[in-house]
Amino acid sequence: MKKILFSLYTCSLAAITYGGEANDWGYEANNAPEKWASLSEKYHACSGLNQSPIDIKNTTSAKLEPLKFNYTAKTQSIINNGHTVQVNFNDGNNLTLDGKEFVLKQFHLHSPSENKINGISYPMEMHLVHANAQGELAVVAIMYKKGENNKSLEQVWKNLPKQVGQDITLNEQVVAANFLPKKLDYYRFNGSLTTPPCTEGVRWIVLKNIQSASEAQLNAFTQLLSHPNNRPVQPVNARMILE
């Protein structure tokens, strides 16, 4: 049993740390999202009943605990893995959730947004991906709309790696706390990673406070990938969405 748990933990960490560098899945043609589950036995979970992203609607009112972020550590590197741009962090950024401590491993971006809120899709979505010592995962999602220039994103945009596989060490350090809105009201649901291996059992936190990014910033990311990198919304099935 311990070996199985260790294997699942290793698989999950590989997915969140390296953002799915495998080239056997993608967003277009024969390796598009609707085919992920059939591409490999490793991706069988992609056909599960508790998949992400979802359209957040028909929510249930609940007394959700306040989010407790302790983000003190800075960035390590930024990589273009062909599926997204991912910023990796040194240990030291923690989220306390359900009485457990989750460590921020990385954040990455999707355009357009993967999750929807009451049917609305946003130009971009950030996923801050956390893991605890038991290998459990928690993802905090932040939506971006077109508006004013975003100073926090500006730091990342200065170092956007243009080539697939390019990994840049960040000299100008990025503080994760700068990306969090002042108001931390949120939706919560049980889901999965939105890329293969589509591991389920992920705690999803989608912040209600929508952030702004300039048209130039949004275009810089979409042009870098040259194609959308959002998985379509998945059936909610029997899950509850809390707010």
Q: Kindly report which listed range (114-118, 125-129, 204-208, 224-228) carries the lowest average pLDDT score.
A: 224-228
Active-site option among 83, 108, 127, 130: 83
Cβ neighbors of 190 (< 8 A, separation 6 or more) are 50, 200, 201, 202, 203, 204, 239
Longest dimension (CA), the chain: 51
pTM of the predicted protein model: 0.91
Position 20 confidence tier, pLDDT thresholds 50, 70, 90: very low
CA separation, residue 94 to residues 70, 173, 183, 202, 229 (Å): 5, 17, 18, 16, 27
- Which two three-digit tokens encode residue 7? 């294997």
Mean pLDDT calculated for residue range 184-212 = 98
Q: What is the pLDDT of residue 185?
A: 98
Please give the span between the terminal C-alpha atoms of the chain, in angstroms, as a whole number: 35
Q: What is the mean pLDDT of the chain?
A: 90
Position 174 confidence tier, pLDDT thresholds 50, 70, 90: confident
Contact 209, 185 (CB under 8 A): yes
CATH match of 2-225 with 3.10.200.10: yes
Mean pLDDT calculated for residue range 31-58 = 96
Q: Is 130 noted as a catalytic residue in this protein? A: no
